[in-house]
Amino acid sequence: MGWLRNNFEIDKWTEILIDNDKIESDNDGNYLINVAYRRVSTDKQAEEGYGLDVQRNDIIRHCEYAQLNNCILFTDDGVTGTTMDRPGLNHFIELVERFNQGRSKFKINSFIVPRIDRLSRSLLGTLQFIQDYIVESKDSKNSMVNTNTYDINFISIGEPFVSVDRKNPTSKLMLVLFAGLAEYDRDQIVLKMQRGREERIKSGKPMGGGNQPFGYKYNRETGNYDVVPEEKEKVQEIFRLYVEEKMPPAKIADLLGFKGERIVVQILKRRTSLGYLTFKGKEYAGNHEPLISEKIFYEAQEEMQRRSIVHTKSQYLLSGLLVCGDCGAKMRYQKWGKSVKIVCYSQQKTKKYLIKDPDCQNLKYYADDIEEAVIGELFRVAYLNNKSVKHTVSQYEVVENLKLNLRRKQDEIKRLYNVYAEKGNEQLLEVITEREKEIERLQQTIEDENKKSSITYRLERSRELLRDLENSWSGMTMEDKKSICNHIIDQIIISGASGKPSITVKFNLQEFLLDESTKA
C-alpha cells in the first residue's frame, strides 16, 4: 500500500488513481498531489462512447505522459452536468477549502478533467467554478468564496489548448468557447430527446418503462401497451360497480382486492383506458386498445361530480335549488304549523352569512304549491324535448371516426418513411411533411372534440331522464326524484315582493335540449 493510500480517506466517490510512493512537497512542507474528476449523467444514452472507464483510462494515460505522481480521482456517476452541487465534485471543493483554512497539508498541484463538458454543461457554472476554486483569490474578481493563495493548474485532456493562464489570453478565450459549446451541446441533446418523445407520443406510442397504467403491460417489441385480460375485466367491473351499483370506491377496492380506494379513483379518472396518451398536458390518440367505452367513462365522471357536491341530507324535493328573485339569497324549506313553507334566508336571522338583504319582503310560499309548479314545468320540458329534439350523430362516434382516421394516417406515414429509406425519393419528403401536418391537425381536432364529450354526456343523460318522465314520476322514490331535479335544474327563482308571485325554472343545457323554435 502506497503513501497516499495510507494518508487519504477513501469512499465511494474517491479512488487513489496513482500512488507511486514518490512524495513531492513544497518549501512549506505541504504535500503536492494531483486531482482528477470524471462524470457521467443520468442521460447515459447521450454519453455513449465516453463512459467512466474510458474517462479513467484517458486520465491515467495523461498522468503517465505528463509524469504526474500521486493522483486522486473523484467520480460522479449518474449526476447531471447542469448543476455544480455533486458529491464527487464537492470532495474536491472540500480538499481545496481544508488546505486554505490550514486544516490539511494536501496541496493540489493540478485539477484534471477528461473534457470540459465532464466538469459542467453550464457556461456560467464552469466559469464560476474556476473563479471560486482554481485561480488565485487576488485574480478572482467575481467570487465571494475564493481564498486560494495560488493558482491550481487546470487541465482538460480533450482540449489541450485550454488553460487558465493569465499570460495567455487565447487559452482563456478557448476556455469560454468550449464551456459555451458544452452547454450548447447539452441543450441540443435535451431538445432532440424532447422532440423524440413528442414524436413518439404523436405516433400513438407511450414513453415506456415507469408505472404502467392498470389494465396494460408495456410491450418492448412493439413499443405499445398490450391489454392484460384479467385486469381489463377488473377495470370494467370498477366502472360498472361505481356507475350502476353506486358503490363507493373504498368498497370497490375491498371487493376487487385493491390496496385502497385511491387506486380505484385513479382508474376511474384515467383516460388511458379510453385509448388516449397524455404528454405535457396535451392528449393524443394511442395505438392501444381501449378498456371501456367513452359513454360509461363520462357517466362515471358525472357520477363523481355528483358525489363531490356535498348536500345536506334533506327530505325535500327542491333543496339547494331555490333562490330568492328579490334579493338573491338562497331559500329554504321551513315547517309552518302542520304545513311546510319556502322562506328566503334573508328573513332568517340565525344564519347571518346567508342574508343578502335584511329588509327582503319576498313572500312565504307553501312548498306543495312550488313543487307542483316545478314538476309541471319539468313535464312540459320533457314533452318539448321528445317532440322537437333533433337527433344527430353521437359525439362518441365522431371521436371514434377521428381516431380511426388518425391511425390510418399514422400507418400511411410509416409506410412512406420505409419507402423513403429504401429509395431516397426527395419528393416523398414533401408528402411526408404534409401528412405530418394532417396528423397534427387531427390530434388537435380530437382534443377539441374530447372537451365536448363531457357536455355531450350531460346532454344525452338529460334526454334520457326526460324521456317518459311524466309516466314514470309517480313510481320513483324521493331520492330518484331529487337526483333528476339536481341533474336537470340549475336554479328555481321565486319572486313575490311586488305582490305578483312568479317562478322561473332555469334548466341545465336548455339550449341543447330544446329546438330554437320551441323556446319561450
Which DSSP string do the residues of 372-394 spell out, in sequence order? Answer: HHHHHHHHHHHHHHHHHPPP---
- How far apart (Å, rounded) are the C-alpha atoms in residues 127 and 157? 18
What is the reported pLDDT for 395? 57
What is the reported pLDDT for 133? 93
469 CB burial (10 A radius; 0-12, 13-18, 19+): buried
All residues at 6 or more sequence positions from 272 whose CB lies less than 8 Å from its CB, including other chains: 213, 215, 216, 225, 278, 286, 288
The string over 372-383, giving b where at least 16 C-beta atoms fall within 10 Å of a residue's C-beta and e elsewhere, is: ebbbebbeebbe
What is the reported pLDDT for 427? 74
Distances (CA, A) of 238 to 109, 241, 266, 298, 304: 68, 5, 11, 14, 13
The domain 216-308 is classified under which CATH number: 3.90.1750.20, 3.40.710.10, 3.40.50.2000, 3.40.50.1980?
A: 3.90.1750.20
- pLDDT tens digits along 40-49: 986 554 455 5
- pLDDT confidence of 517, banded at 50, 70, 90? very low
What is the reported pLDDT for 312? 47
Residue 461 · residue 305 · CB < 8 Å: no
- pLDDT tens digits along 187-220: 787 777 777 777 788 788 887 666 789 999 988 8
What is the reported pLDDT for 519? 40
Residue 164 · residue 151 · CB < 8 Å: yes
Residue 99: all three cell numbers together: 488546505
- How far apart (Å, rounded) are the C-alpha atoms in residues 95 and 116? 20
All residues at 6 or more sequence positions from 172 whose CB lies less than 8 Å from its CB, including other chains: 163, 164, 165
Order across the sheet with 502-507: list the strands: 322-324, 489-495, 502-507
Mean pLDDT of the chain: 82
Q: Which of 156-160, 180-184, 499-503 has the lowest mean pLDDT?
A: 499-503
What is the reported pLDDT for 414? 74
3-state secondary structure of 324: strand
- Torsion angle defined by CA atoms of residues 391, 395, 401 and 405, in that order, rounded to the nearest 10 degrees: 130
* Residue 323, pLDDT above cutoff 70: yes
Q: What is the DSSP letter of 211?
A: P
- pLDDT confidence of 512, banded at 50, 70, 90? very low
* Residue 178, pLDDT above cutoff 60: yes
Q: Which of 135-144, 175-184, 458-467 has the lowest mean pLDDT?
A: 458-467
How many residues appear in the chain? Answer: 520
- pLDDT tens digits along 52-93: 999 999 999 999 999 888 899 999 998 888 889 999 999 999
What is the reported pLDDT for 241? 92
All residues at 6 or more sequence positions from 512 whose CB lies less than 8 Å from its CB, including other chains: 455, 459, 462
What is the reported pLDDT for 455? 55
Residue 416: all three cell numbers together: 412512406
Name which of 53, 52, 54 is nearest 39 in CA terms. 52
Provide the CATH topology of domain 3-187: Rossmann fold (3.40.50)
All residues at 6 or more sequence positions from 510 whose CB lies less than 8 Å from its CB, including other chains: 381, 519
- pLDDT confidence of 285, banded at 50, 70, 90? confident
Number of H helices, E strands in the chain: 16, 15
As a whole number, mean pLDDT of residues 475-481 equals: 83
